[in-house]
Chains A and B, each alone.
Chain A
């Protein structure tokens, strides 16, 4: 295959996986909406408003509806598996289309493509271990939305790497950053649902989707474990491989470059999250809020800094960095 046909393949694969993710989202929505309707279909006035779970476990369960729910749940999962596989083909195609071949994360488009891939991939890998079924509609929605943003606003043709990016550290530094971004994002979904569920319970309004997600303690634990996985990987990316590469390419292992500063801020906020979970008065709600702040800084760093900060050496708009020795004006 030529480079051009690899690029075409990649573009088609992105389109296909976007559609399949969307279908997965639809079938998960059908799954969850069927559950929402349950109390109505039972037709019992005595069913309490927050009785979603109770209805499922109770004797009056509409078995047909339950079967349909399971069917759509499985269908959604299967479609997600297919979509992630096609997503991988899209990444592979990007890498093979470049001359010379390289890892598919040389610009924002590719980074977002890899980031969403790892969100989906980690979700599938951890699906059974952490019983993530409740996360399905949010994860598929998030991936579809990010892929749309990626294709519409961030698309870029396959291009050779700029010189500073041409290093083995590109593979190891960026892949660890992308993986931890995926895991932090999944963890943030857990923390967000924890906050919503916690509030719903306190207000006594725990119907619909929120009625089905696990108990706050479980959400908190799943979220913590995702963060506990992501944090060391982020540490590796930002505080080990990043400085090593920065030292090789820019002569200084820590430059207070905006991207570095924000990566550091993200690191500090997540370190705060991990401490908060062990501190009286910060457990639970405040810790979950910190996790959301962390994910906000993470995505701001990725999107915001690239667009708003022209002084960042990470903006990749240029080739070999050109430094001005003195102020010059014509």
Chain B
């Protein structure tokens, strides 16, 4: 203040840089700002639930983007397809955290001082407090006050040492503030755990045919989302094979066609690398029952079919013979897939089509898939010949046929040539291009493999937060005063209490204390 007066150049209300910083800090750490930031956080989270999110459902996001070509660039600039990773979302929670820390530190210091100090003296006029009671008695002032101390101590109040003003001051519920501080600190612990997990963890997915071995290297994954600080060296050297996959199909009842009881009989080794390979172990991998290998976990999240298809080219050589993964399009496992027989001569052959696990013709004569069980599997594919575009070096999805250099095969009458095959069928292609055989069907599992370090930190954080929360909500801090003085030859005893939590009703507490003061002292103290 004094140096402000000493500076003649300053106008009133003008702040220097340090003062501005202090002012900004005070604003940021005020309860009101914290409250507004909290509500902003809630508001900012809304768009992410209404607009498809890249990180949550990439397919839906790209469909939405195609459907809304005008909005997409605007939304994209605002980061609305990745709300929870945008700078503006981060800004809110970072500010909130700073505000939180700025709130916690001073409060902790205040609390540390308060916890050592005695309860405050009784206000001069207890009758002015909103909650108070009084009664008259013949007992001596000292007797009443001494009993009040006993009663309050027994009720777990901290009692202020007697300073001779004919009153007793007491306080309880000191742990409420501890609960409060623990809760807010735990929020930070949770965030640290969450951030650690998303920085150092990874999440990958793979579609793995039954019987095929998976070894944990980057190349084996279909999709792989590492954290920013994840290093490939952290990948554990395990491998596993799903030997058998069981599904139970419901054939009756309101959910007929639904499947459940998924069980992938899995064989795994924690370390598959050469000399120090570990022993093989078995695990029944099920939904809700992930397999933990070291710090990595394997989750069963989907299944589907891979028809085994053989393509022979015009020269009679086998150009393709493999279980071909078809992707389910709906819950009945009606699936879509392609075959790229790049080695076929004289021209390359591409197949594209669908698999009906239980093929039926509905009342209109249209093909339908009844359910996902393999009751009447039918493979229906179009055939293309020409250049599959595999040689130009650009990456291609194995699930999409690039049709630029391809020509669809036609029947003699000009209609599309279509393969409709049941297991065991072989169909000759027109123009002597070769033949296609549908040998059988294998199952595949979609597995999510992820490593989430820090998850126990986050869990500990929320559990602590809950404990702190319970303390801060249900411990009732209150001050209670008893004063006794002689009025008209009798002792007037006044009791008043103050609830400091803002949610409590102290009247019953006063009544209990008054009853204990007036009533006979408990038996053990009579003698």
Contacts and interface: CB of A to CB of B under 8 A. Distances in A.
Contacts of B331: 318-319, 322
B301 A323 contact: yes
Contact of A325 (B207, B254, B255): B207
B136 interface: no
B287 A253 contact: no
Interface string B45-58: 11011101101110
What does DSSP make chain B's interface, helix, strand, loop or mixed? mixed
The bracket for how many chain B residues form the interface is 35 or more
B32 A279 contact: yes
Interface string B392-407: 0000010110000000
A251 B466 contact: no
A294 B49 CA distance: 17
A329 B459 CA distance: 41
B448 interface: yes
B84 interface: yes
The bracket for how many chain A residues form the interface is 35 or more
A257 B303 CA distance: 22
Contacts of A321: 301-302
Scoring A264, A274, A322 by chain B CB atoms within 10 A of each residue's CB, the highest score goes to A322
A268 B35 contact: no
A1 interface: no
Nearest to B66: A327
B200 to A, nearest CB: 14
A309 B287 contact: no
B399 A326 contact: yes
B328 interface: yes
A281 B33 CA distance: 12
B327 A324 contact: yes
A277 to B, nearest CB: 6
A275 B34 contact: yes
Contacts of A299: none
A328 B399 contact: yes
A327 B62 CA distance: 8
Interface in B438-474: 446, 448, 450, 452, 455, 458-459, 462-463, 465-466, 469-470, 473-474
Scoring A169, A309, A326 by chain B CB atoms within 10 A of each residue's CB, the highest score goes to A326
A269 B42 contact: yes
Contacts of B59: 324, 326-327
Contacts of A254: 194
B39 A272 contact: yes
B451 to A, nearest CB: 10
Contact of B56 (A160, A256, A320): A256
B462 A272 contact: no
B304 interface: yes
B48 A256 contact: yes
Given A231-B473, A256-B53, A278-B31, A166 B260 contact: yes
B505 A248 contact: no
Contacts of B223: 325
Contact of A275 (B35, B84, B302, B470): B35
A272 B35 contact: yes
A269 B57 CA distance: 26
A328 B400 contact: yes
B502 A277 contact: yes
A211 to B, nearest CB: 22
Given A160-B253, A244-B459, A256-B84, A326 B45 contact: no
Contacts of B254: 156-159
A60 to B, nearest CB: 30
A279 B31 contact: yes
A232 B194 contact: no
B45 A264 contact: yes
Contact of B505 (A163, A221, A320, A327): A221
B39 A268 contact: yes
B262 interface: yes
Interface in B480-509: 502-503, 505
A201 interface: no
Contacts of B255: 159-160
Nearest to B259: A319
B279 to A, nearest CB: 26
Nearest to B450: A251
Interface in B42-79: 42, 45-46, 48-50, 52-53, 55-57, 59-60, 62-63
Contacts of A65: none
Given A261-B48, A269-B42, A281-B32, 15 more contacts: A158-B254, A159-B254, A162-B258, A163-B262, A164-B288, A166-B288, A250-B301, A251-B450, A256-B53, A256-B84, A272-B42, A282-B32, A297-B42, A309-B50, A320-B262
5 contacts: A163-B261, A256-B53, A320-B302, A322-B328, A328-B400
